[in-house]
Amino acid sequence: MGTLSDTSYEAAVEKLNTLIHRNDGDLGPEMRRSWENNFKMTFKHIKILELEEPVKRLSIIHVAGTKGKGSTCAFSESVLRESGFKTGLFTSPHLLDVRERFRFDGLMVSKELFAESFWHVYNRLEEHKDTAPVPGFFRFMLLLALQMFTSQRVDVAILEVGLGGRLDATNAIRAPAVTGISSLGLDHCDLLGNTIDLIAGEKAGIFKPGVPAITAPQPEEAMEVLRKKAADLEIPLEVAPPLETYGLHNLQLGLKGDHQRLNAALAVALCKTWAWRTGNEEHWRSAMVTGGLPESYVRGLEKTRWPGRADIVEDNLDLRDEEPSLEKGSFKFGRLQFFLDGAHSPESMEACGKWFCDEVEVDKKLKKANNKLSNGITNTNGDVIYQRVLLFGCMPRRDPVSLLPPLVNLCSQQGLPVDMAIFAPQSSSYVSITPIKNAPKADFSWQLTLQNHWESLRKSKLEEGNRLSTATGAGSMDLLSSLEEKKGGCQSIGPSSAVMASLPATLEWLRSCARRHPQMHIQVLVTGSLYLVGDMLKLLKH
């Protein structure tokens, strides 16, 4: 670790790593009390940093929700940036680089500004640690965001809630311009409650007196809670109108998937309210005449990018030097495509499955129309062997029994069942933002548990007579047969699954399969954890 006088970016990241506190799944009453005490301490930290007045001058859009809140923030930032405003965006988690959490005008913060701001905040807090202990990782991240947004004088700061709402660090903001709630569902039940109304109550904790609130459509029991909270505060609560209200039936959003239209609609409503409340409504005046959206809003929605959410990466299989069995100059290999989405709740897993199936259908129709493999090689036999592979991972504190069925059922119902599943330990961790030195020997017990759940689910579906895969007997068995247990990076082989030693070993095996099967199109759905998605994007150098 750097010396006390080392104020480099690298030293800042190392120091930041020491602020991560592992809870090992202990989320009982003591943890909840600690959460509440830490939240109260955030106000003291803001005072120590002399940010009280600067934060009051910040113009803020504050968004909570179970699923889609990050996408909503991304849409909002893109829309307002296209409208000519200087934007600041604070989100979590990051995929590849901790600086992704802080974006200015769509670009992640520079290493120079990050380091300068980090040491300013850390050193000031360290000086007062006897009366206010240095906060943990996420609360420190929020303080760092406020320091940077105020010093850079952004026109609007968009803050994504980390967890919950009422006691989240971001809720130390007392006077946002507008608050928003994206789609609600059951997640983090150990902290937020195990019913939708309890969770809605926690999310509604970001509502403030005198600040309008906007929500995506919600289940009625959640809406009742949101309405009551708004009524208690005597503030308006609006359900975001769908995009079709503005005549945008065929708008191609930058983020794919039907569910993203809900997030985009919420973002539009938030940006509109922000514009009118802050005296920046000029771009709305002409749009109001036609009943549509300002052109800048349409551009913003179309240009939105959010890595790891509904992401598609075509892998480069032109690796002839690694395959001596292929003739030099030969391009006769199959196709390997990755579909990556950080879904990690039952509802978002189902939405992820719908997006995956839609994209697969589009690809099949294009291929049929062209009667060619997408790498340009004519498919002389007329058929492509499709293999749909699920690369799944989730944290042990999540329940795979509730996560896997919505995805598997949706794909089966769409006639595009998953042929096989792969489980491998993630490289990234919520207990470190840098590679862990001297990491203990890999423990595959959790991956083996996931595999058992997968095979049990497959068996039950087969017993029910549900359609699973017309290709399981041929394609996937052909792929699995190329694996030898305890060799080549494979730890365990099941009837329709494998546990791999690592993600690099998984990618190497998939590439080898695609290169050795010229007519095979392997479509890999990577989901269940944003950490898993980030690791794969890193390996794919995307």
- Binding residues, as ranges, are 92, 160, 188, 309, 341
Neighbours of 347 (CB within 10 A): 18
The conformational region for residue 335 under phi > 0 = left, psi -120 to 50 = alpha, else beta, is beta
Q: Most distant CA pair in the chain: distance in Å?
A: 75
Distance CA 309, CA 430 (A): 19
Neighbours of 309 (CB within 10 A): 26
The conformational region for residue 349 under phi > 0 = left, psi -120 to 50 = alpha, else beta, is alpha
What is the arrangement of strands in the sheet containing 335-341, beginning at the earlier edge strand?
311-314, 335-341, 520-527, 385-392, 420-423, 497-500, 490-494
The pair phi, psi for residue 311, each rounded to 5°, is: -100, 140
Going by the DSSP 8-state scheme, the letter that residue 474 receives in this structure is I
Tokens of 344: 């990690």
**Is the bond leading into 54 cis (omega within 30 degrees of zero)?**
no
Q: Which residues are annotated as a binding site for ATP?
A: 309, 341
Please check whether residue 204 is in contact with residue 89, taking contact to mean a CB–CB distance below 8 angstroms: no
Distance CA 41, CA 131 (A): 10
Q: In 430-517, which residue ranges form alpha helices assigned H by DSSP?
A: 445-463, 477-481, 503-516
Q: Which residues are annotated as a binding site for Mg(2+)?
A: 92, 160, 188
Distance CA 397, CA 532 (A): 15
Please check whether residue 107 is in contact with residue 10, taking contact to mean a CB–CB distance below 8 angstroms: no
